[in-house]
């Protein structure tokens, strides 16, 4: 385990904000991590578990310990005619896992190509893109209790997955450190092309295969979403709001162009990016904080923005969308 004091977070958050943390803790084994929670090692202040820093907005220095999980290893646990159960350490880069699964011919993660962050964040956020969410393939999640260092497994049901959420973000927030995630992938996958834009891109490339779907997703993401290594950002800053069907019907009458997606029966998911765009925010910039020019759901740091400046723009956007559409936006990004 490596524990360092007074460390810049610039490399550890995808907005590239230069705040400091009192401690930065890098753990490689579960035994090391347990020592942080069972009384063996005492660190002053609160603890924040980091999943790659691609969904956080720091608004100041962190007066506690930030834990960066370093658990590695991707393993095929068992294979049958239909499924392969695989597991990956929480510290593996998410996209490295997707690439590995595609190279093995295991289907289920390919639509989630190029999502930034670490494997450990996948169940916390229930990451999703192009019609697929990780909850569809996660079998179980191995964790360490941050209260006593004991190991606990969560089954898929116990994770309480929802749209970009799980119990690890809600009722059990801060209570568990994810160390390994187990997925059930298809050995003979049928490509999932339900998502219109993806289908169009695949048709351009050729006969659908896992590799080709991955390539299509990469192409779409690269064309629409800014690369955090070049322009600081955290992907979608807000969630797409879920409203009752009647509310969506009313809005559709007033705004016929509003993209709507089916959600649970009786509810509809609205495209927040479209609404923000309609409010005139796309490509706007206040100082170095701004709204991406190709995707209004993504807030960006053009260089020297502070977390507070990015937060302030997000508040202004929420206000505009509420005034125009009567819909309160909820942030997907966590403010620290």
For strands 151-155 and 138-145, give the pairing.
antiparallel
Separation CA 45–CA 35 (nearest Å)? 16
> Is residue 297 within the footprint of ligand EPU (CB under 6 A)?
yes
Closer residue to ligand EPU in complex, CB, 224/318: 224
> Is residue 106 within the footprint of ligand EPU (CB under 6 A)?
no
User: How many Cα atoms within 13 Å fall on the side-chain side of residue 188?
Assistant: 3
Separation CA 117–CA 52 (nearest Å)? 4
Distance of CA 265 to the CA centre of its chain: 25
Q: Which stretch binds ligand EPU (CB under 6 A): 34-42, 144-152, 290-298, 318-326?
A: 290-298
Active site residue 236: yes
Active site residue 332: yes
Q: How far is the CB of 234 from ligand EPU (least distance, A)?
A: 7
Neighbouring residues of 314: CB distance < 8 A, sequence distance ≥ 6 = 237, 238, 299, 331
Q: Which residue is nearest to ligand EPU (CB)?
A: 235
Active site residue 14: no
> Would you give the binding string for ligand EPU spanning residues 139-168, x where CB under 6 A is met?
------------------------------
Interior/surface letters 19-36, b for 16+ CB within 10 angstroms, e for the rest? bbbbbbbbbeebebbbeb
Beta carbons of 137 and 187 less than 8 angstroms apart: no
Q: How far is the CB of 221 from ligand EPU (least distance, A)?
A: 7
> Is residue 182 within the footprint of ligand EPU (CB under 6 A)?
no
Beta carbons of 168 and 178 less than 8 angstroms apart: yes
Q: Which one of residues 14, 233, 240, 314 is an interface residue with ligand EPU (CB under 6 A)?
A: 240
Instruction: Please give the residues from 191 up to 230 whose contact with ligand EPU meets the rule CB under 6 A.
Output: 224
> Is residue 311 within the footprint of ligand EPU (CB under 6 A)?
no
Q: Which one of residues 33, 84, 248, 296 is an interface residue with ligand EPU (CB under 6 A)?
A: 296
Q: Under rule CB under 6 A, how many of the chain's residues touch ligand EPU?
A: 17
Here the contacts of 304-310 (C-beta below 8 Å, separation 24 or greater) are 305/15, 305/17, 305/232, 306/17, 306/59, 307/15, 307/17, 307/19, 307/57, 307/58, 307/59, 307/60, 307/335, 308/59, 308/60, 310/15, 310/57
Q: Which one of residues 48, 139, 260, 271 is an interface residue with ligand EPU (CB under 6 A)?
A: 271
> Is residue 239 within the footprint of ligand EPU (CB under 6 A)?
yes
Q: Which one of residues 109, 122, 129, 268 is an interface residue with ligand EPU (CB under 6 A)?
A: 129
Binding site for ligand EPU (CB under 6 A): 129-130, 224, 235-236, 239-240, 259, 271, 273-274, 277, 282, 295-297, 332
The catalytic residues are 164, 236, 332
């Amino acid at each position: 385990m490596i524990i360092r004091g007074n460390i810049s977070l610039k490399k550890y958050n995808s907005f590239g904000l230069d705040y400091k943390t009192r401690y930065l803790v890098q753990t490689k084994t579960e035994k090391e991590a347990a020592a942080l929670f069972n009384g063996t090692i005492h660190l002053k202040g609160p603890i924040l578990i980091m999943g790659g820093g691609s969904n956080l907005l720091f608004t100041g220095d962190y007066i506690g310990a930030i834990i960066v999980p370093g658990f590695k290893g991707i393993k095929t646990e068992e294979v049958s005619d239909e499924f392969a159960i695989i597991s990956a350490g929480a510290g593996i880069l998410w996209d490295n896992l997707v690439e590995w699964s595609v190279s093995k011919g295991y289907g289920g993660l390919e639509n989630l190509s190029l999502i930034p962050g670490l494997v450990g964040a996948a169940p916390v956020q229930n990451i999703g893109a192009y019609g697929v969410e990780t909850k569809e393939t996660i079998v179980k999640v191995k964790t360490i209790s941050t209260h006593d260092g004991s190991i606990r497994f969560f089954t898929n049901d116990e994770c309480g997955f929802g749209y970009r959420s799980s119990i690890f973000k809600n009722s059990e927030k801060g209570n568990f450190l994810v160390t390994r995630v187990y997925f059930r992938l298809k050995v003979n996958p049928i490509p999932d092309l339900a998502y219109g834009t993806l289908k169009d891109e695949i048709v351009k490339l050729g006969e659908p295969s896992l590799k080709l779907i991955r390539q299509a997703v990469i192409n779409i993401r690269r064309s629409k979403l800014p690369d955090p290594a070049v322009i600081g950002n955290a992907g979608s800053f807000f969630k797409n709001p879920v409203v009752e069907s009647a509310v969506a019907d009313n809005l559709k009458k007033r705004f016929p162009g509003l993209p709507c997606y089916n959600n649970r029966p009786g509810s509809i998911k609205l495209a927040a990016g479209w609404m923000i765009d309609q409010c005139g925010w796309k490509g706007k910039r206040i100082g170095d904080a701004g709204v991406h020019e190709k995707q209004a759901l993504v807030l960006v740091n053009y260089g020297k923005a502070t977390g507070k400046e990015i937060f302030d723009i997000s508040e202004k956007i929420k206000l505009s969308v509420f005034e125009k559409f009567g819909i309160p936006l909820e942030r997907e990004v966590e403010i620290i």
